[in-house]
């Protein structure tokens, strides 16, 4: 099932677009199944669950323990960053991140896609400096109609990027956004057009930010539309793993 879903999506996805398999709320067995089908990039949105899965998958990949259920669930504490085999699996963090949870996420995340406040960005910079690490991030732009969705306004992102050199331990890799949850394709297109235009505008305005290339838009219901707007990363959960059991 998971394997068929991945193959079908991959067939439609241009090879240069990165597919993040959003495994939140699904068991590690589902991740292993996707991995066996060739998927290497996974996304999670809750720090504790993220750290636990990083540790379990790392242990599994190193063959330290053939039965992953035997590994305690206390999180990734037992695994140091260099032990996570990045060429074999790449983890993205996609959810709201509180500053007191950074140590569960930053040692292991190849990309933090969901930076949604200056406060969080400052804390990431401090953590990166203290740990001598360069943290790759996307800035989340609020594009959907929902009040509750996280994300910056355009002017807040401008404000940050004008001060980008202050963030020496942060690599600004682009924008992430979630379109309005709606059946109206026109509304979804309007959301994606807005973030794509803003992304292009920022790339013109800040040519010195050479890493600011990524546009992470598109989920299970709208990733085909996102391709029309230049998505470089799509984040797909349900269409790969099935419905989540909350």
Ligand X SMILES: *Cc1c(COP(=O)(O)O)cnc(C)c1O
Bridge partners, 112 (sequence order): 93, 137
- CB 108, min distance to ligand X, A: 17
Q: Which two tokens stand for residue 130?
A: 């203290």
Q: Which two tokens stand for residue 223?
A: 């990733």
C-alpha distances in angstroms, 219 versus 117, 212, 236? 22, 21, 5
Using the minimum distance from each CB to ligand X, give the nearer residue, 59 or 195.
Answer: 195
Using the minimum distance from each CB to ligand X, give the nearer residue, 39 or 45.
Answer: 45
Closest C-alpha to 7, from 43, 39, 44, 42: 39
Q: Which residues bind ligand X (CB under 6 A)?
A: 22, 24, 45, 94-95, 178, 219-221, 235-239
Q: What gap in Å lies between CA 113 and CA 95, rounded to an integer?
A: 8
Using the minimum distance from each CB to ligand X, give the nearer residue, 79 or 112.
Answer: 112
- CB 116, min distance to ligand X, A: 11
* Spatial contact of 41 and 92, defined as CB atoms under 8 Å apart: yes
- CB 94, min distance to ligand X, A: 4
- CB 206, min distance to ligand X, A: 24
Using the minimum distance from each CB to ligand X, give the nearer residue, 79 or 234.
Answer: 234
């Amino acid at each position: 099932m998971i394997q068929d879903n991945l193959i079908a999506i991959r067939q439609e996805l241009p090879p240069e677009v990165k597919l993040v398999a959003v495994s939140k709320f699904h068991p590690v067995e589902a991740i292993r199944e996707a991995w066996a089908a060739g998927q290497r990039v996974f996304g999670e949105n809750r720090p504790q669950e993220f750290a636990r899965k990083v540790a379990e998958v790392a242990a599994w990949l190193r063959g330290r323990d053939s039965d992953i259920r035997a590994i305690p669930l206390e999180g990734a504490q037992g695994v140091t960053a260099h032990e996570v085999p990045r060429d074999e699996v790449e983890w993205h963090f996609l959810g709201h991140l509180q500053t007191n949870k950074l140590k569960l996420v930053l040692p292991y995340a190849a990309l933090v896609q969901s930076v949604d406040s200056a406060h969080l960005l400052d804390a990431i910079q401090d953590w990166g400096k203290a740990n001598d690490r360069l943290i790759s991030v996307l800035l989340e732009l609020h594009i959907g109609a929902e009040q509750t969705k996280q994300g910056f306004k355009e002017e807040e992102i401008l404000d940050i990027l004008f001060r980008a050199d202050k963030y020496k331990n942060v690599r600004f890799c682009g924008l992430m956004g979630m379109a309005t949850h709606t059946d109206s394709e026109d509304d979804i297109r309007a959301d994606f057009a807005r973030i794509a235009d803003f992304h292009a505008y920022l790339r013109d305005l800040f040519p010195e930010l050479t890493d600011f290339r990524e546009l992470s838009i598109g989920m299970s219901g709208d990733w085909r539309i996102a391709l029309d707007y230049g998505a470089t990363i799509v984040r797909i959960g349900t269409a790969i793993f099935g419905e989540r059991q909350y």
